Amino acid sequence: MSDLNFAPAYNLAARIRSRDLSPVELMESCLSRIEKTNRVLNAFIAMKPEQALAEARALADRIARGEDPGPLAGIPIGVKELEDVEGFPSTHASVPFKDCYPARDSIQVERLRRAGGIILGKTNSPEFGSTAFTRNLLFGVTRNPWSPDRTPGGSSGGSSAAVASGMVPLATGSDGGGSIRIPACYTGLFGMKCTFGRIPRGPFEMLEWGDTVVSGPLTRTVRDAALYLDAVVGAHPADPDSLPHPGMSYIAVLERLPPRLRIAWSPTLGYARSQPDVMREVMTAVNVFEKLGHSVEEIDDVFPQAALAWAMIAGAEVYAEIADHIEAHRSEFGRGFLAGTELMRNVTPDRYGQAQRVRAELVNILWRLFDRYDLLLTPTLPTEAFDANGKMPAEIDGRPVESPIEFVAFTYPFNLTGHPAASVRAGFTDAGLPAGLQIVGPRHRDDLVLQASYAYECERPWNDRWPVEIPRAGG
């Protein structure tokens, strides 16, 4: 394995710009790492290595001519299967869509390319991003590089496995209920769910109305995520929900965390519970902010249990997306995915309205909370990574689990409200698996979430510990 495989993206891009590193050498190193590890992890499910190498050679020639290669100069990037890349099938990790080819790149991919990034391939996802683990009938199971018998999370599980294992420095994700933060937590990465609309999505074949899904980065360092965001933020005409450019460089302000922040810490959000060794690691992480001079106060605010509202809003949208394909392809969809999605046919306007009332209650609670505090801290997830095939533990902290939603109890509320939220590595459980701390900020304060994450990372660096040796899966 080359030292390049776990170097930060910002460092690699700087070396390429200064001609200290060839983009071809970096691409070859990533391809070599993929060759050694992907057969176990199944992170990449589609690649065009010769095309990627040709792009790296062309970039090297441009640099030799004195041209600016862009801020992401030559960085190999994995793209989540749910996102469009021209020349690759856009399958939604679903058999009925295996032969669908998009007319162009997504807006985010287009901007990553424009910044000098090179798209190496597509990474695995559950069908339509529907689960917190990554398995589907089209591409199979993706595994966690820390322990291949465990899941890397979902739905951006292929991206998280690729970055955590050193296959690529950066990968795209999307997050409609935790799908960036869940895999970031389970693989020890930094994962950022920006304010809704901060990164434009699309172009769309069907405009979405749930306003819960965002695109964003999975990276090994916070600075890498800031570099990524600088390349992709800003409004686009194809996305009517996209926000104007924030008027700042996230890299430029990364080290400007204000002093003496007022920070709320909620270990439960009033309804959740966590695995004891996860909570131990998260508490250690929370204490870092007090050490940094901030005021941290544990709160007992009870948030509404909005799981049904979230499931209804997100699920109805997915049903609308596939409704015209169900009867012709019923046997090709995953049974669990289709059964859950078809329940959304029963979502009537009055039920949908009730879900939006619950959502409004949550928005109002957070409005008042962020009048009192600058940031909110929670566990990212209540457990360590579970079985790669999706078998979840029967209990959390000694009490039976009544619904799978309990495993993502801390992430989905902030999709309903649109607040920026990130997962940083909190430590390791007794089984040696990563645990995560979630940092949530006021709407539009993506800069503050990044600054707090960076200050925490500087105090407790994690970029020196990765699963370099990937064991074989036991089953």
Do residues 91 and 72 lie in contact, with contact meaning Cβ atoms separated by under 8 Å?
A: no
- Summarised one tens digit per residue, pLDDT across range 14-59 is 999 999 999 999 999 999 999 999 999 999 999 999 999 999 999 9
Do residues 82 and 103 lie in contact, with contact meaning Cβ atoms separated by under 8 Å?
A: no
Residue with tokens 């965002």: 214
Q: How many domains does the chain have?
A: 1
Q: pTM (2 decimals)? A: 0.98
Cα separation, 308 vs 265, whole angstroms? 25
Confidence of residue 474 (pLDDT cuts 50, 70, 90): confident
Sheet with 262-265: strands ordered across: 44-47, 118-123, 76-80, 170-175, 214-219, 190-193, 421-428, 434-440, 375-379, 262-265, 295-298
Strands (E), 233-357: 262-265, 295-298
472 is a domain residue:
no
| Domain CATH code at residue 71 | 3.90.1300.10
- Summarised one tens digit per residue, pLDDT across range 90-106 is 999 999 999 999 999 99
Question: Considering the chain, what percentage of its residues have pLDDT values greater than 70?
Answer: 100
- Summarised one tens digit per residue, pLDDT across range 154-196 is 999 999 999 999 999 999 999 999 999 999 999 999 999 999 9
466 is a domain residue:
no
Cα separation, 1 vs 470, whole angstroms? 12
326 is a domain residue:
no
3 is a domain residue:
no
Q: Residue 362, SS3?
A: helix
pLDDT at 87 over 90: yes
188 is a domain residue:
yes
- Summarised one tens digit per residue, pLDDT across range 438-457 is 999 999 999 999 999 999 99
- Summarised one tens digit per residue, pLDDT across range 278-289 is 999 999 999 999
Q: Residue 31, SS3?
A: helix
Cα separation, 38 vs 254, whole angstroms? 33
315 is a domain residue:
no
Query: Taking the chain, what is the end-to-end CA distance rounded to the nearest angstrom?
Result: 25
Residues labelled as active-site residues? 80, 155, 179
Cα separation, 213 vs 172, whole angstroms? 13
316 is a domain residue:
no
Beta strands at 262-265 and 190-193: parallel, antiparallel or unpaired: unpaired
334 is a domain residue:
no
Cβ atoms within 10 A of the Cβ of 372, count?
11
User: Which residues constitute the domain of residue 146?
Assistant: 8-308+348-459
Q: Residue 172, SS3?
A: strand
Strands (E), 279-365: 295-298
For residue 345 the two structure tokens come to 């046919």
